[in-house]
Structure 1
Amino acid sequence: MSAAAMNVEMRHLRAFTSVATHRSFTMASRELMITQPALTRTVQQLETVLQVRLIARNARPVELTDVGRRFLERARRVLAEFDRAMAATSDERELRLGFHWVLPHPWAQLAIERFEQATAATVTVSRCADLVCDLGAGEVDVVVLRGARALPGLTAVHLFDEDRVAAVSARSPLAARQELHWDELGERPLVVNTVYGSTQPEQWAPRHRPQRIVTCSNFDEWLELVRADHGVGAVPASVARPGLHPGVALIPLVGAPSVPVRLLYRLHQPDPLLRRFLDAAVSAAHEQPAPTVMPSGRSYQRA
């Protein structure tokens, strides 16, 4: 073993992988519950010991050097083995993943499979009426949330951005269209899930903003309101699956803002099992193809 390897500690690897995962020193410092200057010093200590630069200076968001990307893969493997060894001393071998409506596909399957293979732990998926409440109460360990809203007391890890797809009643004249423009939706009544819906009226420019809003509090209600032609809506592309609802037509949407998909967890709970899930989730997010929808409603994978 080299002298450099002997001087590298788990805290160095944890600090570096957290910064690399979040692509932010600020978010990583919150996850690790240390100050940002202390985190910066820890990463710099690792670079000094290794005598390489792992993170490009002055890049926003954080960017890894070529050496940093190669080292990240190895650091994650080392931490994975360490976390597995620590987890083996505990009876807690379950991670609880919460969601409000339709887990992103294929990301969820990729992330869960990768995590379970790497840790021999089990992911339990739970549909939550109130993601934040269930997370705060410890009912779930981590939740999937679409949208960019800030939630105090929680750490967010950005996974990817999704395209939006228009949803209209199958009996509406719009159902025959090959595509719709985002601004066209703003000219019609808009069905909005006020709890965790990803489409809100303020996302339109003021002159195209919907004037009539039909509200609901969950995805099932949202589907029924669209089916009944009480209004139109938009959903992330991964939700727009074949057979989503026989009375709802899914139409490609042009000019729409994308939907950020994030994982949220409590600031004080970055335990080894959760860290391993975050790694698997980010890795799966980087590898999944981007889904979109054909006019017929058949999903396909965009090249």
Structure 2
Amino acid sequence: MICAQSISPLTSSAGYEPLERTASALAAYADRALLTELMLTPKPGLVDRRNCGAHHDMDMHTFLASARAIAPWWPRFVEIGNSCAYIAASASLSLVRPVGVLCEQAMLRATDGVNTHKGGIFSLGLLCFGAGRLLGRGISITRERLCDEVASICVGLVDRELKARGEARTAGERVFRRYGVVGARGEAASGYATVREAALPVYDQLRSSGINEELMLLQVLLNLLAVNNDTNLLSRGGGAGRDYVRAYARRLLEEGGVLAPDGLRKMAAFDDALIARHLSPGGTADLIGITWFLARFPIHEALEAQ
């Protein structure tokens, strides 16, 4: 669906660029965010280069096929955001959702029905859509502006889709009914508060210290696992499973995390422990992708070439 107000060209710190070029750049960030999270190893309980985590229906090849199927849709999210730039944020979610559904269908066709990236499509799709809306209004992208835009788009989402629904139709809805945890919807409505508070400060500090990206992201992952109310963990292991993962991550952080001399060995042992308990923090994996995407943009200054 395309809104009537089509805004082109887009504004960036480099001047005026065609929509197609800007959408392609943002789409490349979204695509790389998915692949960066996938390749990060070792990730406790998750599919990576080491193993399939606590999963029996998906592996690295499943995720790569999924990412390839999703990639052509990222520019579309940006373009629709650009076209709907002057529609009220609170009224814009329904305009982009049909594209999200089509993107999910492409994913499921590529994976024979396995849900590999539904959370990633939701979060990164919203971020691309929000970026298109900002640029369509001539507003340079910063992390704060982009997160605020997504929060405005998702105003009332938790009330409409979690609190107001009678029958729980998805795992996320069932977790909300039992534990009151709002999951991906709540994270988006908060403007990705968990990422901004627990992940990006760690990422920025380590990047300024010259730590390589794999270690940076693994350390960020530990920080997220220590605090995130992961709906996948709650769905698989209940409160006890979530608390086990949080406590384990906090203990590793107290010992230096992956930056300690034996940090990677301990991270692999963490992976083995979650596999043995059939625990997979898939919601936290999505936050890693969001962290990487948002880190491409400055905190306050105008969008710069990356």
Shared fold, TM over 0.5: no
**TM score, norm. by length of structure 1:** 0.26
Determine which structure has more spread, i.e. the larger CA radius of gyration. 1
**TM score, norm. by length of structure 2:** 0.26
With CA pairs under 8 Å and 6+ residues apart, which has the higher RCO, 1 or 2?
2
**Structure with a larger share of its residues in strand:** 1
